[in-house]
Every structure is written in C-alpha cells, then in structure tokens.
Amino acid sequence: MNGTSLPVVEVGPVAHGGSCVARLDGQVVFVRHSLPGERVRIRVTDTTKRFLRADAVEVLEASPDRVEPPCALAGTCGGCDFQHVDPAAQRRLLADVVAEQLRRLAGIERDVVVEEVRPTLGWRTRVTWSTTPDGRPGLRKHRTHEVVPVEHCPIAHPDLPDVTAHRWDSGPVEAIVSSTGQRLVVTDATVPSDLDVDGVAGTDGHRRAGGTRLTEHVAPHDFTVTGSGFWQVHPEAARTLVDAVLDAAEARPGDRVADLYAGVGLFTAFLADAVGPDGLVVSVEADRQGARDARRSLHGRSQVRLVADSTERALRREPALADGVDVVVLDPPRTGARKAVPGVAALGARRVVYVACDPAALARDVATFAEHGYRLGPLRAFALFPMTHHVECVAVLDRVD
C-alpha cells in the first residue's frame, strides 16, 4: 500500500495515554503524533475488537500548536509522546486529560491547569537504556521490543554518565545522576573502563564498583537512595511536590500523620518538621530497600515511626494507626490505591493529600473516597515529565462532617 492510499482522518480530543481520538469507518482510532483539530493520514499499527491504534504519517492540515520536534527520533523512539507539540499546548493537553478522567470516572467537573516545571529539555536524571544486538544503547519503539539506537536524547540530563558513547555486551543499562552530582550505572553488562562514574551496581542492587548509595538533597534534608531505588526523575520534582504537599496538608504541631507509600521518606522528613517533637508521622513503605534507605535518612527523628510493610497490611495491623490520624499523605504507584482507600478513610483524618502519577487511577480513587465521606477539594497538576503524556497531580480530599 503506497502512502497516498492510506486512510485520512479528522483528529478529535486527546485521550489518556497521549494519543488523540479519531474515527475510521465508524470505529474509534487512537492516533499517535497527532493533535486535536488536525487532518492526518494514518497507518494502523494495532487492531482490537473495540478500537484501532495508528500513527499519523502525514499531516494534511496542521494544528497551530504543532512545532518542529527538538529530537530527530521523534515519532520513531517510544520515549516521548509530545515532541511535536508546543510546550504550553502540551500542558493544555495534559489538563484536558485530567479533567476528562475526573468527569468520566468520578462525575466531577473541574477546570484543571497544569503548571510548568522547568527545564523542559535535559531533565531526565535516570534513564534505562536497552541495547541493540550489536551493543548500541537505545530506547524501544512504542509498544514493541525493537530498540532504536540513540546517540543523543534531548530530555536526558546532560550530566548523566555517557552511556550512549559506548557499546555494551548486554542490557539494560541504567544511567543515574543525583542532585548532588553523583553518577551511577546499574547493569549486569561489562562496563567500559573509561566510563566516568562514581559507582557501578548490578541489577540486583549489589555493588560492583564504587558505591551504590546516592545522596539526594532537598533543602534542608538529605536522602539516601540505593541504586535503582525510586526517586523523582525531574531535578525540580522533589522540591515542587514537597511544597505542594505541605501546602495541601496543612499539618499542625502535635498532629498525627500517616505517610503511605512513603518511599525513602521524602514527604516524611518535611511532615516531621511540620508536626514537631510532639507530633507523630507514621511512614509506611513496602519495598525493602526503600524502607532501609528511609531508616538511614530518618533514624534520628523521634517523631517518626518507620513501618516496613504494605500500606494495606499496615492499615489493618499497625498499632500506631489504631487510634486514627489527623492527616494522611499517600503517593501510590501508577495503579493507584484502590484496595487501600477504605482503610485510609477509616483512619478518620480531617484531610487526605493524594499524590498521583496517573489521572485515571486518581479519578477512580477520588470516586471511592467520595463513597467513604471525602470530597475533592483543591487540585494542582504539574508537568514533571515534559514531552510525554505523564502528569503529576496533588489532590486534597476533605472529610465531609
């Protein structure tokens, strides 16, 4: 089939996941690399019973928000969704997605503004590279296992270890640079002797050379993060989220706070400052390494109780939560906190602050919280993953008396 015989569609609104919605012969099509209002020629890449997936391969009528991508691999590599979109328009698309998910899944009409967080390029401080059969580092095409070799990634932080300048005998190879300038590679591959790094770890987390513990700094606190342990990848993300969570929580001296899915204790440290020596922060993290790192960072805080357990079990079993709390902060994984919501609501907190990296999971859980007596209050959203469809939200849920 030649290019001119490929179908043409009128592109509609953006959908969760970064594609836009169109129709082809009455069937829904999710079109990547397009924008609302455009007329594009598409190539269908996947067919299901309910919808099609497609790539826009030619733009016949362009949106005024379309720009020249800053990356030569835009549309080929699967790492970015919005390289072809003006950054301000990217944020409007993200806002539309959050609003649509709240409307569809929670029955809530809400005007959403996604706040800019700079930089929009050179921000990703952790990148996991796959390798081609001949050892070149790269990233996978969208929804495939095919690796696209990458010599320069515009969203990768400029201080990352220079992984792409070398050939590797296996993959994956994760490159990390911390906020304090430490450079780490996590891989089982043979590491080139001239690669400038402070440490090398195996994918099992064990040290191979140098150190595997990184120090991340969010003034005035330092945090230990071991190897591939979770930390926000945008250099301004931790500070941005800490400020948003503290503003939303309004924790008071003497309060009892539950910090659930707490990771290495980022929010715990600042919540402990807010509640003071007469308060308590119960910090719950299921990942063993994350819990150990939290203990290294927070062991001297008498008002912090660290619980190495799943949130669901801790809500049932942890004695420090038995009498309830004043405030809950939760930062669940992308799948959300569906199983935990009833237990969180049972704590009786006056306020729940929900940090969400997936607007669909957030909207679904907001609807469940409503069934347990909590109403959505202020919501902020942040473009912490520029050029991609990912968006971070901080939502306030207040108990309805």
Instruction: Provide the annotated active-site residues.
Output: 357
Does the annotation flag 236 for ligand binding?
Answer: no
Using the 8-state DSSP alphabet, how is residue 71 labeled? S
**Is the Cα torsion angle 390, 121, 226, 381 positive or negative in sign?**
negative
**Is the Cα torsion angle 271, 325, 394, 244 positive or negative in sign?**
negative
CA distances from 26 to 21, 50, 157 (A): 12, 11, 43
Type of residue at 349? A
Residues 388/233, Cβ–Cβ less than 8 Å:
no
Type of residue at 18? G
- Write the secondary structure of 261-273 as one string of H (helix), E (strand) and C (coil): CCCCCHHHHHHHH
Provide the CA 383 distance to its chain's centre, in angstroms.
10
Does the annotation flag 46 for ligand binding?
Answer: no
Provide the CA 241 distance to its chain's centre, in angstroms.
12
Does the annotation flag 331 for ligand binding?
Answer: yes
- Rounded Cα–Cα distance for residues 154 and 151 (Å): 10
For strand 8-10 and strand 27-32, is the pairing parallel, antiparallel, or unpaired? Answer: unpaired
Helices H / strands E in the chain, number of each: 7, 22
For strand 280-285 and strand 304-308, is the pairing parallel, antiparallel, or unpaired? Answer: parallel
Which residues are CB-neighbours of 224 under 8 A, at least 6 positions away?
Answer: 213, 214, 215, 264, 293, 296, 297
**Which residues sit in the known binding site for S-adenosyl-L-methionine?**
232, 261, 285, 331
**Which residues sit in the known binding site?**
232, 261, 285, 331
